[in-house]
Every structure is written in structure tokens, then in C-alpha cells.
Chains A and B, each alone.
Chain A
Amino acid sequence: MTLPTPGAATSPRARWRRLVASDLWHDFTRSPLPMLAAAIALLCLGGALFAPWLAPHDPFDLARLDLADSHLPPAWLADGRATYVLGTDDQGRDILSALLYGARISLTVGLCSVGLSVLMGVTAGLLAGFLGGVVDALLMRLCDVMLSFPPILVALFIDGVGRLLFPQARDLLAFAVLILALTLTDWVRYARMVRAATLVERHKEYVQAARLVGVSTWRLLRRHVLPNVLGPVLVLATIQVGQAIVTEATLSFLGVGVPPTNPSLGTLIRVGNDFLYAGEWWITLFPGIALVLIAMSVNLLGDWLRDALNPRLR
């Protein structure tokens, strides 16, 4: 029986070849749903990334807004106009453009907060797992407590505290508070996961042998624990991006998210909500659809990834 050699063949080419030959890729290219989800997610990502170039109008350029163009329905309806494909809001802003920019904000906040969460969580988990003792005990208590509260509540609380502390926060600071709130809500999951994996590895004989020989802890962690743990972390992160986006949208919808000068999809939905009774459904519906598309495609990908990487469910 061949033994796996740790750290073997790590050149990018070799890794790509391994990926393509792996069961994971095989399953992926044969399942229509995850491929569709990935395609949609990529599309949204691309659209949001290149918003400034893709958007037909600039919704933030106050000079070019024309009130005469306000309250227009989507282009395919009676009063619609071709230049405003998805209609306009009460200030004459093009919904499609606002949507693209909003998606951009939503995705940025989502990805940033998850990225920071992963960083924070993985580090904490590695430390706790390896150092053990008081550090570990404290971390576990903290995780238990934080995980027993629903993320929305935690995010809301941290946001509230942030507002209490910085009542005059504008723009960048407001964003920072929001991202921090989302990050702090989530990092415990990764910490817990990584800590468990670290504990398992730490007690394995090769680790003890390596320590005897004098291999530094850092090297051990990096070469052996980290690779084993990145798979589940990736799955979790994918699912959490979806949740982060939804949480941010919810916070913005409730008026305590992004500052109003940079509306995300949640803000747009909130603004549009007021016009539902007036029959102008497009102002809220299209941002809503965009949000759902992004959240669902990311969730689907994460779900599929988790099932695919779980050997027992095959």
C-alpha cells in the first residue's frame, strides 16, 4: 500500500492536474445543478466587479439624473424606455445600474468579512489546538457562547455598539463597523473547526516525532495541519459568503448596514419597499431577484461542495 508523502508535488501544474483528475472535478462536470450555480455565481461576480464599465448609467452622478425620467417601469412594459431596461426609481436612477453597483457593494462586504473571518478563525484555531491549556479552554467557551446566538442578532448587537461608540461615523468608518460586525459574528466557526483538526493532528505520531527532531511548530502547522483543514474550511467559507451577503442585506434593509450614500442591494430593496403600494414593484423586485440569485447560487455551490467532499454520502 502506498503511503502519502506529505507535501509532495506541489507545483501549480501538478496541483491542477490532480484537481482535474480528482473525483471532485468529475462529479462537478457531470452535475448540471452545481455547474449552473457556479455559472450564475461567476456571472454575478463578474457583473459586480465590472459594474463601473457594465452599467449603462451612473446612478450616483447627481448631475445627470433627470426627474422627468423617474418612476419609469421596465422597458418591456407600456411606459418603459429602452435606455432604462429595468425601469427607474423616484429619483430617476436607472435600476439596472443601481443594481450592479449595489451587487458590487454586497459582494465586497460579503467577501471581505468572510476573508477576515477565515483569517481570524484559522489562526485562533491553530493556536488553541496546538497550545492547549488555558488558551484552548477560553477559546472553546467563547465559541460555545457566540455560536449559541443567531448570527443576525450578534451582527446587530455589534453594529449597535459600533454606532454607540462612533455616533458620527461616515463612509469608510461605517463600512469598517459593518465588516467588523460580520467578521466577529462568524470567525468562531472556523476557529472551532480548525482547532478540532489541529488536535487530531497534534496527537499523531509523526507530529510527535517531528517535534523531537526539532521541526518548528510553525512549520508543522503550515505543512501538515493546514492542508488537511483547508478543505472543510473552504466549504464552510463558501456557505458563509452566502450568509454574509444575506446578513448584510438584512442589516442594510433594516437601516443599520451600509451608509446610505453607497447603497447595497439591501438598501435598494428597503427604498423600493415604500413604493410597493404605489404599484411600482420593479424598484424592489429586481434588486431582490439579484440578491436571491447571488445567495442561492453561492449556497448551492457550498452545499454541493460539502456533499461531494463527504465520503460517506456518496
Chain B
Amino acid sequence: MTGPLLEVRDLCVEFPTRHGALRALDGVSFDIAPGEILGIVGESGAGKSLAGAAIVGLLEPPGRVCGGRILFDGQRIDDLPPAAMRRLRGKQIGAIFQDPLTALDPLYSIGHQLVETLRTHLPLDAAQARERAIELLRRAGLPAAEARLGQYPHEFSGGMRQRVVIALALAGEPRLIIADEPTTALDVAVQAQVIQLLRGLTQESGASVMLITHDMGVIAETCDRVAVMYAGRVVEVGPVEAVIHHPAHPYTAALMASVPTLADAGGRLAQIEGALPRPDEIPAGCAFHPRCPKASQRCGQERPELALVLRTRAACWWPMVEGPAA
């Protein structure tokens, strides 16, 4: 049995400010198995994107990793020298970011950007790289791929651009893809297509995906497992079906309940009282306890670790063993 492709253990990311260091990620741990799609879900500001950036070594300064380990295929990658990290990127670990328009250099044709990426990772000459590029575009679902090579990013629509971005990220045939909110900037109709594409391509190549999003619908459709993040910590992780239908952590339950369904039509929208704490005001103990209906004194003093509860692992002193609250 092969071990997990990616292991993140107790990852901490901080931002030094004049008030002291702000912990944006505090003890984040999760695994991704080969070929699996792990969803990372949470509200904006929960630290999801930071986790992705930290893994590929593209944290924006002054942010820095201040603790924990990241292992890829059994090897530590969080302490690699820049040159080694660079070799890893694109070839072993690929990344897709949120806004496809700004992700592509406006001054170069997409053909050029594809070819340069291909030739960086694979020993191809110009003609071979061009052929590969056309192939990649076709697989990414772009019609008339050959004609498109000479076109520039601004000549594509949003959905098409994201397909190009996906093609670029897959060019080096990485084994892990970090997709940071890949559908957020797209129209709803296009979102489904892009997700389908991502899923299809990675299944073909056997690559794993770390899908970061705040859209529960996407998670439900696409992922095998999901990790729920809150205020820079992982509060629950488990198989998608279990987390959605039988959440153990009160926050997860509240999240699921707040997603409106057709069955709720006409009723009030469920809300979670309060708001996400600011990074410099994270409560002691469990970060969620001020907003939690089940909070006790222990919740305000001791921080819970992830522990197995039925089919998911949750960081809670009072996990919910039955189904979600009505």
C-alpha cells in the first residue's frame, strides 16, 4: 500500500506585524492520497489559499512558514532550497489560481506560454512542443486548438481562459494539482464545465487534486474527501458524503444548514451567529466556541485536536454523533 502523496502536519503560517506575529494558519494537518480529490472548504479568510500557497512555496512575503512539516511522496518539501522547490513546481505539483485573466501574461500568445512551460519540464524541441500544446488544448476542450495557439489571452472568454490555465498547469504532468478557487471568477454555467474538465483530466492521469473553494456545491459534486477550515485551523475532515450528511463538528453542521435548498423555499435563511474572528483576535481554546451553541467552559480553555468521531475526524469536545440539527 502506497502512503499518502501529500502530508501536511501542524502547518503554521504567520505574518509579522508591529503588533507581533499574526498566526494565519495554526496547526493545520491533512493528507492527500494518490489520485484522490480533497476539498478544502471554509469561509473567506479561513486560510484556505494560504495553505495552498505554502505547499508550493509561493507564500507572499512577509508571510512565512513558522512551524510544521509538509511531505510530498515521503520527502520533506517545506525546507527545500529555492532551486529545488522550483524544480518541483509544475513538474510534481501544479497550481491553478483564482482569476484566469490575470494568470496569463497578456503580452504573449497562449501557444508561447504553453510551449515554454512544456519545454521547461520535458525534453522536447520546438515542433514537438507545439504538437503537445495542441494536444493539451484539445484535451482541455478548446475547439480549433491549432488556430488558437497564436491567440492572446484577452481574445478568450473567461471559461476558455480557465481551460487554458488548466492545460498549462497540467503541461508538466504533475502528480498533485492545487486548485485555488478555480471557478469563483466564472459564470455559473461555465463552472460546471470547468470542474468536469478538471475532474476528467486528473482521473485520466491519476493526479491528486487539492480543491480549495467556498462553494459547497462544487465540493459535493467533485471531491472524495473534504477538510473544513475555520480561522486557520482544520475543524473537520472526512469523506465527502459523511461530512455533508453526518457532520460531527458544530461549525460544519451550521455550514451545511446554511446552504439553502429547494426544500427550504419560503423559510428564513439559516445563519451562523457572529462572524469569523480576525487573525489577531482568535479566541483561546476552540476558535469557534464564542459562536457555538454547545460551547462549555472546557471549549474556551483547551484547544481540541482532530479525533475520530464515527466516520469523520473532528476537532471538538462535544462532537455531534447523530445527524445535523434540524
Residues of A within 8 A of B (CB): 1, 23, 26
Say how far A260's CB is from chain B's closest CB, in angstroms: 52
Number of interface residues of B (CB under 8 A): 2
Nearest CB of B to A248, in Å: 40
Report chain B residues within 8 Å CB of A26.
18
B1-35 vs A, Cβ < 8 Å mask (1 yes, 0 no): 00000000000000000100000000000000000
A23 touching B275, Cβ below 8 Å: no
Look across to chain A and name the residue whose beta carbon is closest to the beta carbon of B17.
Answer: A23
A308 to chain B, nearest CB (A): 13
Q: In the docked arrangement, what's the CA distance between A26 and B19, Å?
A: 11
Please determine whether A1 and B275 come into contact, CB atoms closer than 8 angstroms: yes
CB neighbours of B18 from chain A (8 A): 23, 26
Q: SS class of chain A's interface: helix, strand, loop or mixed?
A: helix
Residue of B nearest to A23 (CB): B18
Bound: A26/B275 CA distance, A:
30
3 contacts between A and B (CB under 8 A): A1-B275, A23-B18, A26-B18
Q: Which 3 A-B pairs have the closest CB atoms?
A: A26-B18, A1-B275, A23-B18
CA distance A23 to B19 in the complex (A): 10
Main secondary structure of the interface of B (DSSP, over half): loop
For the complex formed, measure the closest distance between the CB of A314 and the CB atoms of chain B, giving whole angstroms.
8
CA distance A58 to B20 in the complex (A): 56
Total A-B Cβ pairs within 8 A: 3
CA–CA, A181 and B266, complex, Å: 69
CA gap between A26 and B18 in the complex, in Å:
9
A1: chain B residues within 8 A (beta carbon): 275
B213 to chain A, nearest CB (A): 23
How far is the CB of A170 from the nearest CB of chain B, in Å?
Answer: 56
- Give the docked Cα–Cα distance between A23 and B18 (Å): 9
CB distance from A232 to the nearest CB of B (A): 23
B 17-68 contacts with A by CB, 8 A: 18
Bound-state Cα–Cα, A131 to B90, Å: 53
CA–CA, A73 to B250, complex, Å? 85
A1 to B18, CA, bound (A): 22
Q: How far is the CB of B55 from chain A (nearest CB, A)?
A: 25
Task: Give the residue name and chain of the A residue nearest to B18 (CB).
Answer: A26
Q: Look across to chain A and name the residue whose beta carbon is closest to the beta carbon of B276.
A: A1
Q: How far is the CA of A23 from the CA of B275 in the complex (A)?
A: 26
* Contact mask for chain B residues 243-282; partner A; CB cutoff 8 A; 1 contact, 0 none: 0000000000000000000000000000000010000000
The residues of A that contact B275 with a CB separation of less than 8 Å are 1
Q: Which residue of B lies closest to A26 (CB)?
A: B18
A99 to B275, CA, bound (A): 62
A1 to B274, CA, bound (A): 10
Taking the closest CB of chain B, its distance from the CB of A91, in whole angstroms, is 56
Question: In the bound complex, how far is the Cα of B275 from the Cα of A299, in angstroms?
Answer: 44
Instruction: State the Cβ distance, B316 to closest chain A Cβ, in Å.
Output: 26
Which single residue of chain A is at the shortest CB-CB distance from B62? A314
A1 to B44 alpha-carbon distance, docked (Å): 14
A26 to B17, CA, bound (A): 11
Q: How far is the CB of B115 from chain A (nearest CB, A)?
A: 32
Question: Shortest beta-carbon distance, A307 to chain B, in Å?
Answer: 16
Within the complex, what minimum Cβ distance (angstroms) separates B232 from chain A? 18
A28 to B18, CA, bound (A): 13
Chain A nearest CB, measured from B91 CB (Å): 32
CA of A1 to CA of B281 in the docked complex: distance in angstroms?
13
Taking the nearest CB of chain A, how far is it from the CB of B89, in angstroms? 25
Closest B residue to A314 using CB positions: B62
- For residues 256 through 310 of chain B, which have their beta carbon under 8 Å from a beta carbon of chain A? 275
Q: How far is the CB of A25 from chain B (nearest CB, A)?
A: 11
> Considering only CB atoms, which chain A residue lies closest to B275 in the complex?
A1
**Who on chain B is nearest to A1 by CB?**
B275
In the complex, chain B residues whose CB is within 8 Å of the CB of A23 = 18
What is the distance, in angstroms, from B92's C-beta to the closest C-beta of chain A? 32
Q: How far is the CB of B64 from chain A (nearest CB, A)?
A: 15
Write the nearest CB–CB distance from A300 to chain B, whole angstroms: 22
Question: Chain B's nearest CB lies how many Å from the CB of A210?
Answer: 28
Nearest CB in chain B: distance from A313 CB, A? 12
Min CB–CB distance B109 → chain A (angstroms): 29
In the assembled complex, the CB of B173 is this many whole angstroms from the nearest CB of chain A, namely: 36
Q: B4 to chain A: closest CB distance in Å?
A: 37
Q: How far is the CA of A105 from the CA of B261 in the complex (A)?
A: 75
* Minimum distance in angstroms from B237 CB to a CB of chain A: 29
